[in-house]
Structure 1
């Protein structure tokens, strides 16, 4: 049987990219024996800003974000790490074991409702990154040699952030509030971890919820918020980050280019 090919577009410092890539690393066998192959394509979101290219905006993700996947098996490209995870969970039962689907979905939603943009890039970290990306879009729009479709895509990408108030969205108070939300979430997590070695909901192997949670915890550590990760949760994160699957995704990288 010829494997069904998937192309995974990701960035080496994108939290959601790590969530998806670790999900794929721990996916286990498929439910019907189907074979799937993955080709990874790195998207440079800070220097070359490949996510703003005409090809990416028109053929991969009009939002200009990673991760995203393409495949002959899909009617159209799929973006958003949670949607993609749910897609693969229909193929790989270990991602959402029978009887635990509700708990896993609840945890995934809680993770993706966290203000991890502020937690990752609050304060001084946000402005040079986002302002640089905004200026790159404006520079492209100032050209007179781009296609109408590309111009429309750039305008749609720029519009939501064109008038962003950085001081309000990523300021000190926003960061403090985000940390309070994270602390409440971590209390919720602690109640769902086994007291000894193991995974969420006392499952024998990691599920999709573990994949997204471990990536989140790694990011919080890498941006200087590791003090919020305590006790059993810290031990859980350290065990996961020592696994072969996590190491196969991370290599020598950390989850972010930005210092804490």
Structure 2
């Protein structure tokens, strides 16, 4: 009988969604009854040098050509191709990530956090990046002897890039996403105050002894905002929480500044 569940995690350390999943994996705790501990093998995909555009990755791993992706041969019928879906899957198997008394709020706020366009916030001052990504796909399509299957996959990836990245850097979209992030962070800070009081040195969002999946996801989100000069929209207590987490070796091991 297996003592652990083998998994492969496709990731890039510069991907905020990859970091969210990797940081959450550090705090899974004990599995629920009937679930096994995970034995995760990391598989790095260099998204800035086109490794996500290979036929294998687009056709076998993720048609969107994005990271992270979690696959567990023999346990999962198909890869989990979305960071929110991976996080919720982990929450279902590791109770401490979704503390029962706060489960509804944790899931709701995770969904709202992941609804934000992270690319918009990360690249709002470097719009040429989206054009570069689009250009790389167009050049890849010109590669001699590509299979029809690979060409079709690249055309789909091109549509995804236009929708989520090129369009995500329109000025009106940037303004809207920054405001959405500001409002959501204020809401989370109010919840933190209800659990921890006005003490800026308070612990995790719900006052739990270990971080929930909301905490691990939020810390990575705030860290990216800090790196991209958006500290002004972050409540002070959430800045303190992120700074404390960023000082740990666990966080440094999974984080790469763009």
TM superposition score normalised by structure 2: 0.88
* Contact 1:7–1:71, Cα closer than 8 Å, also in 2: yes
Which residue is equivalent to 1:234? 239
Q: For 1:89 and 1:205, how far apart are their aligned partners in 2?
A: 14
Give the C-alpha shift of residue 216 in structure 1. 0.3
Which residue is equivalent to 2:31? 30
Aligned residues: CA RMSD: 2.1
Give the alignment of 1:90-239 within 5 angstroms: 90-123=92-125, 125-127=126-128, 129-162=129-162, 166=166, 169-193=168-192, 194-195=196-197, 196=199, 197-239=202-244
Change (3 A) 1:165 1:50: closer
Q: Which moved more, 1:8-17 or 1:229-238?
A: 229-238
Which residue is equivalent to 2:7? 6
Change (3 A) 1:119 1:5: same
How many residues matched?
249
Look up the SS of the partner of 2:101 in the other structure. Answer: coil
Q: For 1:59 and 1:173, how far apart are their aligned partners in 2?
A: 35
Q: For 1:220 and 1:198, how far apart are their aligned partners in 2?
A: 20
Q: For 1:41 and 1:85, how far apart are their aligned partners in 2?
A: 18
Q: Which moved more, 1:209-218 or 1:178-187?
A: 178-187
Which residue is equivalent to 1:247? 252
Q: For 2:203 and 2:139, how far apart are their aligned partners in 1?
A: 50
Q: What runs of 5+ residues in structure 1 fail to find an aligned partner?
A: none
- The structure whose RCO (Cα within 8 Å, separation 6+) is larger is 1
Give the C-alpha shift of residue 101 in structure 1. 1.1
1:56 aligns with 2:64: no
Q: For 1:16 and 1:36, how far apart are their aligned partners in 2?
A: 19
* Contact 2:19–2:254, Cα closer than 8 Å, also in 1: yes
Look up the SS of the partner of 2:48 in the other structure. Answer: coil
* Contact 2:19–2:220, Cα closer than 8 Å, also in 1: yes
Q: For 1:164 and 1:97, how far apart are their aligned partners in 2?
A: 32
Q: What runs of 5+ residues in structure 2 fail to find an aligned partner?
A: none
